[in-house]
Amino acid sequence: MQSKTKKPAFPGEVILSAEQAQPFLDQIPEKNPACTFCGASLKGQPIRGYTHDGGWPVEGYEKLLWLYIKCPKCKYDYAIWKLGVPRSFNPKEVKN
């Protein structure tokens, strides 16, 4: 579920690959989340992140990343916990 434009908005920002993002997307209870400010769909938008001590472990990164989805219309950054991903979620502990 990635958007067509995949470029970091600022130095240090990363965009998760589909494989990195999927465990987090699977944790979002609403399968078609919408922006509470403008109503735009957040579905298909990439998960973005940056290094943050309070973030989540992500495959391929040594440090924790703060993860969020940017609204394509109003540009609000939704931390993934606001979309239902538990702060305690660790995708490295998920059994396939």
Q: What is the pLDDT of residues 8-55, one digit of tens each?
A: 878 899 999 999 999 999 999 999 999 999 999 999 999 999 999 999
Residue type at 8 in one-letter notation: P
* Domain spans in the chain, listed from the N-terminal domain onward: 14-88
Tens-digit pLDDT profile for residues 58-94: 999 999 999 999 999 999 999 999 999 999 999 988 7
Residues 6+ apart with CB under 8 A from 10: none
Predicted model pTM = 0.88
69 contacts 6 by C-beta, under 8 angstroms: no
